[in-house]
Amino acid sequence: MLILSLDSTAVVGSVALCRDDTPLAVFTVKNGNTHSETLLPMVEAVLNTTNTSVADIDLFACAVGPGSFTGVRIGVATVKGLAFGREKPCAAVSTLEALAENLVPFEGIICPVMNARRGQVYNALFHVENGVLTRLVPDRALSIAELERELAARGEPFALCGDGVDVTTAGFQTLVPSAVSPLLADQSAVSVAKCALRAYQNGEAVSDAALSPVYLRLPQAERERLERNNETKE
């Protein structure tokens, strides 16, 4: 099965063509939030280099969030456009699950973190069981302090990945993450493809029309900040 996958949910933009689990071509840039200008030329380069046409693709996959509002929309819209009218399945992949996939087979808790600004991260927690990623909590936005409390309570070694690694490591008071290669910290469309294949095999693929962005917003942060601002005014 030929899978075209992409991730544009943060500063990294990544496009991959995989045959099942095997990457055939990967194109990743980390050059600022310019996905609206770079993503489609990257798709074109990946397809041309491998002598593949869009019609050959069996499964379209996309990291659908959480992440940057514009980045998420660009990725989802691009996949919708490529798949439109082709009756081919699409897989909506959590950005966090794909990030966690980078670190398989880490023994312990895999803890992807994306910088959601103002002391918050987008996060989920995963285990690896028999080589397969297993989700422990749903995708959420939470403060770095809350994340540290939760990881401390679980009491297991953990590894971080994602663009929030630095802000999270700096924000933790006592916990120290396990060392992993920084090469694995960034979004990779190959990981998106792996998650997409799993979703497809589990019958979770959708039509291009049903592919939707997932925005995790910060109602709690908003509430807390409004309270804090009111206090300072008083």
Residues that bind another protein (CB under 8 A): 11, 32-33, 68-71, 117-118, 215, 217-219, 221-222, 225-226, 228-229
Give the shortest CB-81-to-another protein separation in angstroms. 20
Q: Specify the pairing of strand 132-135 against strand 2-7.
A: unpaired
Give the shortest CB-226-to-another protein separation in angstroms. 7
* Residue whose CB is less far from another protein, 156 or 222: 222
* Residue whose CB is less far from another protein, 69 or 84: 69
Q: What phi and psi values does residue 94 have, to the nearest 5 degrees?
A: -65, 130
Do 120 and 218 meet the contact criterion of CB atoms below 8 Å apart?
Answer: yes
Q: How far is CA 128 from CA 65, 145, 148, in A?
A: 22, 25, 20
Give the shortest CB-30-to-another protein separation in angstroms. 12
* Residue whose CB is less far from another protein, 58 or 222: 222
Give the shortest CB-36-to-another protein separation in angstroms. 11
Distance, CA of 114 to chain centre: 9
* Residue whose CB is less far from another protein, 84 or 215: 215
* Residue whose CB is less far from another protein, 65 or 112: 65
- Residue with structure tokens 């397809």? 47
Q: In sequence order, which residues have a C-beta less than 8 Å from that of residue 123 and are 6 or more positions away?
A: 96, 111, 112, 113, 114, 139, 140, 141, 142, 147, 164
Give the shortest CB-66-to-another protein separation in angstroms. 10
Do 35 and 9 meet the contact criterion of CB atoms below 8 Å apart?
Answer: no
